[in-house]
Amino acid sequence: MTPTLMKRSTRALLTAGLLATTPWASQAQPTGDDSQEGRSRWGLGLAVMPEIKPYRDFDGKTEVWPLITFENRWVRVFGPGLEFKLGRSGPLTYGLTLAYAGDGYKSSDAPILTSMDRRRASAWLGGRLGLQTSWAQFSAEWSADTLSYSKGQRLRLGAERRFSLGEFGLTPRLTATWMDSKYVDYYYGVRGNEVIPGRAAYSAGSTVNTELGLRVDYRIAPEQVLFADVSATALGSAIKSSPLVDRSTLPGVRLGWLYRF
Residue burial 189-223, b: 16+ Cβ < 10 Å; e: rest: bbeeebeeeebeebebebbbbebebebbbebeeee
Q: Which helix (H) or strand (E) holds 33?
A: none
Region 177-181: what's the mean pLDDT? 98
What range defines the domain where residue 215 resides? 3-260
pLDDT attached to residue 67: 83
Query: CATH number for the domain including 36?
Result: 2.40.230
Q: pLDDT tens digit string along 115-153?
A: 999 999 999 999 999 999 999 999 999 999 999 999 999
Please count the structural domains in the chain: 1
Chain center to CA of 128: 14
Q: pLDDT tens digit string along 224-257?
A: 999 999 999 999 999 999 999 999 999 999 999 9
Helix/strand/coil for 187: helix
Helix/strand/coil for 175: strand
